[in-house]
Each structure stands twice: as C-alpha cells, then as structure tokens.
Structure 1
C-alpha cells in the first residue's frame, strides 16, 4: 500500500464521521438561528464534554457506554436548565447561555488541573480527533442521527422549547466526542449563516454542500500539510461558507 492510499484510508472514516455530524447539525443550526440562540450549541457541547471529564475521572472505558451515558445525562440536564431559564428570563436567554458555557468550561479546567494528561484530554474534547475516528465509534452516533432526523421530520413544526432542547442535547452528545466542541459549533452555525439569503427550498441543500466541502478540503489539507484536522476543518468550512454567501443571492436593501 503506497502513501497516497494510506492517507485516503485515514480520511474516509473521518469524512463519514463529518457527514454524520452534518446530517443533524445543519437542520438544527437553521433552527438555532431562527430562534436567536446562537451560542446554545457551545454551551450544550461544553456541558456534554464536562460530563465526559467527570466520568473519565474514574477508571471507565473512554469508548464505553458509561461515558456516553454521562455525556448524555450532562447535556440533558443542561437542556432542562436552559428550558427553565428561557421560560423564567427570556429577555436575557443568550446571556444565560454564555454564562452556562463559561461555567462548564471553567469546571472542566478545574477537574483536570491535577491530571497529568488532563490538558491533552481537554484539547481532544475541544478540537477533536476526527482523523482517528473508527467505524465502530460511529455506530451509536449513526443510530442517534437516524432518531434525530426522524424527530425533526415528523415533529419539526410541533416541537416546543423543551423538545427542541432535548433533541439538541442528544445530537450534541454524540457529535462532541466524534469531532470536538469547535467543530460542533462550526457545523451548526457556519453553513446556516452562509445560506440565510437563499430561497427556502435551497437553503438546506446548499448548507449541506457547504459543510461537506469544508470537511473534505480540511481533511485533505490536514493530511497534506500535517496540521491538526479539527482546527483546519473549522477554517475550511468558514472559507467555503464565505464563497457560498458571496456568490449567492444578495439580501434585499433595507427600506426606510
């Protein structure tokens, strides 16, 4: 097997993982922009990562179901808390999401402070290790993606505040351990930002295309130049989004 074939075999499962994340995060990202709660994904993703850190402080298998359960439980609790805060203080919900994010991030730092490998573990949760994702790791996220897509298809217009937050928590729980917190945010927000002025029927296809081109180019360039995959994919998704926006329909001028 030559070097090019070896690189390709590394990229393929990573790209499949990216497609799994995009499958649910693109439509959820559109809902996030519509609801005006852009930073909810960062907060829920960080809370899910905190659940992983808490569970990982014991002698648990990092790929086991207990870690997944801990991340899911933490994300659901965060979703329930944000549901309550939005109901109680809706005028400052975005600020409350930001506060919850910084508290979860700070708690993660405190928990790994005395762990000799804590810094590496925290970096993996933030930037991800998508290039080393294996097919067995994608079984549970794939099942979760099917459930989420079914819920969005059948209940999208009837999904209330609590339902949306719980579905969101389920999606983020699976994706944050596959691709990291940074790529979770980029996958949710950047494609939807790029297509916001497109016709309604074109937004979802072009948002998916934006994410797919960003992941593909980022993975190829990261292998080619031996750079961190997660960080480079974020930049590539943003670069593709700029092009999609620039060559797309222009917003109507504001009327006086």
Structure 2
C-alpha cells in the first residue's frame, strides 16, 4: 500500500469545487422532486463531449467545454418547456431524456475502437488524474454560480434554475464523471433531510468533503477506482448522518 497525499491534492480540490455548487443545488432538487435531473443533464453534457470528439476537437480544450455547455443548456431549455407543458410527469420525462442521451452516446461511439473506454471515463470519471491546471476555469465558474445562487436564488425563475444547474453540471461532469456528479448532488441531501434546517447545509458539506477525502485515500491505498469508491464513501457517511438525526432517533 502506498499513499502520496501530494498526488491526491488536486483531485480533492476538484471534488471541493463540485461539492461547492452541488450540495446547495441538491437540496433544491430534492425539494422540487426532480431527483434525476442531474443524471439527465450530466448525460446530455457528456453527449456534447462525445460529439465534439467525433468532430476531432482536441480533448480538454475550450471547444469541448463549449460543446458540453451547449448540450446541457439545450437540455435545460427542453426540461423547462416540458415542466410548463406537462408538469405532472416531469420526473418521467427527465428519465426518458436521460435514457435517450445515454443511448445516443452508445450509438455514436459504436464504431469507435476506444468507444467503451471513452464511455467508462465519462461515466466513472478520471478524478485521480485531474491536475491544478484544469481547475482555474471551473473555480471561476463555481464562484459565479455560488454568487448567483446565494444572492438571487429566491428570485430565480424556473428557467434560471435550470440554466444555472446546467452550467454547474457542465463544469463538473468533465472533472469527475456522471456517477460522481449525481452522487455529489443527491447523496448528501438525502443524508441530512431529517436534521434541523439550520444544520442541513453544513452537515451535507461535511458528508461530501469526508466522502471525497476518504474515497481518494482508500483508492490510493488499495489501488481501486477512485470515482466508484468515493460514491460508496459518500453513501456510507450519508447513511450514518441519517441514522444519527434527531428525528430518526425520536422515531
């Protein structure tokens, strides 16, 4: 077993950037009852990355970011329209959109000899290989999202929420992958839902930070996939937080 904390620092900072926006957005998603929106938007952003790759756009360049953002915004606009048109089945529509985006990615990469590997990277992510040079733009966008969210969230219309959400997911999915984006959004929010209102946000951040730190350390020690292990660490900490909630204990 070998542990090099210096190697884990940049991936951990990437995780903190994802958590910074996804923890408060996750609470809102859970409140609105549209849990699978994150998976859908993340998968659509990933589809944008796949299309950019098929057009021979250099990986990691601004053109890829633009393609992912354009796809995510298109998905957000579509979901805004479907929520207005058929609000009673919005969750089902989100699920259908996720399946369509996922299968479109499979079809587009069917003839690519490295398609399976590319899909795996988009889903599970490659957080362990994130470097500090990749984090400057996500850090700036994260600061903008947080400023808009904490300063204007009460006045954000439905479209504003979806667009802000799409921007957050676009930044996150290329850093940590679809699975970790979803887990970062939903798992901490689930773990704290029975705690007092004032404790939920700090406790959700604690679950997220602990999950990323523990997952990265364990993945380095035991040479296991980082993204998958972080998801499990987040889930375990969320279960412990839920089990220790006052309302749960009272019940």
Q: TM-score, normalised by structure 2?
A: 0.97
1:240 maps to what in 2? 237
1:114 maps to what in 2? 111
What are structure 1's unaligned runs of at least 5 residues? none
Whether 1:84 aligns to 2:81 is yes
The C-alpha deviation readout for 1:44-95, integer Å capped at 9, x for no partner, is 0000000000001122111100000000000000000000000000000000
C-alpha separation in 1, matches of 2:240 and 2:197: 19
1:20 maps to what in 2? 17
1:135 maps to what in 2? 132
C-alpha separation in 1, matches of 2:162 and 2:250: 34
C-alpha separation in 1, matches of 2:125 and 2:56: 21
The C-alpha deviation readout for 1:113-165, integer Å capped at 9, x for no partner, is 01111111110000000000011111111111001000111111111110000
Q: Secondary structure at the match of 2:34?
A: coil
C-alpha separation in 2, matches of 1:214 and 1:68: 27
Question: Number of matched residues?
Answer: 250
Whether 1:96 aligns to 2:96 is no
What are structure 2's unaligned runs of at least 5 residues? none
CA RMSD of aligned residues (A): 1.2
Q: TM-score, normalised by structure 1?
A: 0.95
| Contact 2:243 2:249 (8 Å CA) reproduced | no
Whether 1:38 aligns to 2:23 is no
1:11 pairs with one of 8, 11, 17:
8
Q: What is the Cα deviation at residue 253 of structure 1?
A: 8.1
C-alpha separation in 1, matches of 2:6 and 2:223: 16
C-alpha separation in 2, matches of 1:52 and 1:140: 17
C-alpha separation in 2, matches of 1:70 and 1:139: 19
Whether 1:171 aligns to 2:168 is yes
Q: Secondary structure at the match of 1:156?
A: helix
C-alpha separation in 2, matches of 1:252 and 1:91: 34
1:231 pairs with one of 204, 228, 231:
228
The C-alpha deviation readout for 1:205-247, integer Å capped at 9, x for no partner, is 0000000000011001111110100001000000011111111
2:153 pairs with one of 153, 156, 160:
156
Q: Secondary structure at the match of 2:155?
A: coil
Q: Secondary structure at the match of 2:246?
A: coil
Q: Secondary structure at the match of 2:247?
A: coil
